[in-house]
Amino acid sequence: MTRFSTDSARPLGQGLQSPAGSLLDGELVAMLRGYKRSVAGRYRALVKDELLTSLPPGPLRVSPKVDGELWFLVFDGSVAFLASPTGRVVSGDVPVLDEARAATSRAHTRTVIAGELYAARPSGRPRVGDLANAMGGEDKAAVERMAFVAFDTLQGGAADGPELTPVYAERHASLTRLLDGGKRVRAVKTEIVSGGEAVTALFDAWVEGGKGEGLVIRGSDELVYKAKPTISIDAAVIGYTESSEGADRVGSLLLGLVRENGQIQLIGSCGNMPTEQRLAFMPKLQAMHAESNYRHANNRGALYRFVRPEIVVEIKVTDIQSEGSSGDPIERMILEWHDGAWRSVRELPGASILHPVFVRTRDDKRVDAVDVRVAQVQERCLVTGIDRAADPIVLPASEVIRREVYTKATKGDLAVRKLVVWRTHKESAGPDLGYPAFVVQFTDFSAGRKDPLQRDVKLASDASGAMRIADEMIAEGIKKGWERRP
């Protein structure tokens, strides 16, 4: 069976790199995406100060966190290739795969290994952006810098052991035997220690010593802990919500970063701040209200009130991510501040902040492409095209193709029922936008009712289907006593 396609592949040195969606093996695709979702769900983020108090008792397996991208090394008989959760594939004559192929004789026939694909540096630890740089340039790509550090097995493993075991220590031992002696392909270094003090010492040596992005800690409770230094970000305040504790204080702040052309891209929100700061923010932000054609709700459904882009705050986060748990890019809305109001542009790949904590207001900084630059996220994760200008999506106007209004006098009040059918002309604008071809809406207004205004909205893919739905709504909603109006 052909595991992947190279039809749209581009050169990668003497090898090939195929774009997202190139994996053809449905079982393998599900395995890779499922692993990323499950691992992301098990991670618990910690900062250095929490290492002494938040780790479980018993032995802890501690490894340095390499700053790269999650990829999977696949052995299929004597064939070896690299695949990402989104279905990108690296294959052919690439040094990292040449070394990997030497290990296929020691592996079960079908072996799938999770790890970090990264690009080595002449000095200092790898950074996530280094990998994209190394893989650029097609036939001139710096493929000799590419390396893979393995940390888990999804299927198979070393042939001198079982194909898979539920015990992580055994899976890691299998990886170590399988990749023994490797330079570009190797098992992740692991120390077994007990207690937060020992882990803190490794943090000092590996992370603060410049050898790793962070620590990955595995305990006997099957949880995976990820410890990183806290990250500071300066962001613009775009909006706010009221606190559930009272209308006199702010609940959370909606934050954005400025792209090079002045557009602002949302990065998330921050609600972790002292009570006195919540109280201080409220009157200041209330005086800064601004109009917006974009609506954004918090996780409880409360809409943010938009404000003028004048306040900069510093926040601490434990991580910044550019991909969701499925491996798909995280898309964030881009806004423009124009004529004293906010205007939505479009969603493009961006980043999401984890566990934000308010630090202070930065009165010494302005909302511009220097002080709150979007490039701050590139220090922690890779976002393709984050600095290019975002063009608004221009959509064709909708067309009303049927409209009927009916009234009925009841107890001195005038009840109104209205049917509208319109064609959006937007169904071909792109699958990501999700516009239907036709929309049918039946509106029922009765002033004497507890819920005066009721709507029923249905979608259709063609005109005949839309008209059939409309006829059914009229037959059900317009009975004796209703008079049609112009």
Backbone φ and ψ for 134, nearest 5 degrees, come out as -65, -35
- Check if the beta carbon of residue 154 is closer than 8 Å to that of residue 114: yes
Report the percentage of the chain scoring pLDDT > 70: 96
CB atoms within 10 A of CB 312: 21
pLDDT digits (tens, 9 = 90+) for 372-411: 988 888 766 777 777 677 777 777 889 999 999 999 987 7
Helix (H) or strand (E) holding 484: strand 483-485
Taking residues 442-449, report their average pLDDT: 89
User: Per-residue b/e over 284-300, b at no fewer than 16 CB within 10 Å?
Assistant: ebeebebebebebebee
Report the alpha-carbon distance of residue 266 to residue 107 in Å, rounded.
46
Cα within 13 Å of Cα(465), Cβ side: 10
Compute the mean pLDDT over every residue in the chain, rounded to the nearest whole number.
90
Q: pLDDT category, 325, cuts 50, 70, 90? A: low
How many C-beta neighbours within 10 Å does residue 185 have?
A: 26
> What is the pairing mode between strands 319-321 and 352-354?
antiparallel
Per-residue pLDDT at 41 exceeds 80: no
Residue type, 30: A
Query: What is the average per-residue pLDDT within 2-9?
Result: 91
**Residue 72 phi/psi, 5° resolution?**
-130, 130
pLDDT score at 64 = 93
- Residue 33's SS3 state is helix
Region 306-316: what's the mean pLDDT?
A: 95
Rounded Cα distance, 438 and 141, in Å:
48
Show the tokens assigned to 451: 């819920």
Q: What is the pLDDT of residues 135-146, one digit of tens each?
A: 999 999 999 999
Asked whether the predicted pLDDT for residue 479 surpasses 70, the reply is yes
Q: Which CATH architecture has domain 10-227?
A: 2-Layer Sandwich (3.30)
pLDDT band at 440 (very low <50, low <70, confident <90, very high): very high
- Residue 456 — very low, low, confident or very high, per pLDDT cuts 50/70/90? very high
Lowest mean pLDDT among 31-40, 49-58, 239-248, 470-479: 31-40
Amino acid at site 253: L
Q: What superfamily would CATH give domain 232-379?
A: Nucleic acid-binding proteins (2.40.50.140)
How sure is the predictor about 179, in pLDDT bands with cuts at 50, 70 and 90?
very high
User: The CATH number of 399-485 is which of 2.60.40, 3.30.420, 3.40.50, 2.20.140?
Assistant: 2.20.140
pLDDT grade for 195, boundaries at 50, 70 and 90? very high
CA distance 186 to 100: 9
Domain ranges of the chain: 10-227, 232-379, 399-485
Contacts for 482 with CB less than 8 Å, ≥ 6 apart: 406, 407, 408, 417
**Sequence-separated (6 or more) residues with CB below 8 Å from residue 370:** none
For 375, phi then psi, to 5°, come to -65, -10
Kindly state the helix (H) or strand (E) to which residue 255 belongs, with its residue range: strand 246-258
